[in-house]
Amino acid sequence: MTENLTPFFADFGVNATIGGGTVRGIHDAVFAETFGFTAGFKPVFICPASAVPNIAEGDAVIIAATTYKVAGVEPDGTGMTLLRLEAA
């Protein structure tokens, strides 16, 4: 069974340019900690896994005229993928 996630992103999502195409998802900032020394909010983009099947670390993601680089790809097994982003 595959759920249609389009209605979820219609109200709360933003468009991102990934690999030359447009992907609708949630742009947010989550709290992250690195080895207990550096903590703060880091940008993420959550989208349907089917929209980014070949995404890889280092790929560019453009959201609202800001270019990010993918620092991590985390599919959750439910059809969603969280992209950890960093400044490009």
Average the pLDDT over 59-64 and give the result: 97
CA atoms within 13 A on the CB side of 59: 18
Domain count, the chain: 1
More confident residue, 26 or 3: 26
Mapping DSSP to helix (H, G, I), strand (E, B) and coil, where does residue 50 land?
helix
Residues 19, 73: Cα–Cα separation, whole Å: 15
Residue 12 in domain? yes
Q: What is the CATH number of the domain that holds 33?
A: 2.40.10
Q: Are 30 and 42 in contact (CB under 8 A)?
A: yes
Structure tokens at 37: 């020394």
Per residue in 5-39, pLDDT (tens digit) is 778 888 889 999 999 999 999 999 877 766 666 66
Tokens of 63: 């959201």
Residue 35 lies in a domain: yes
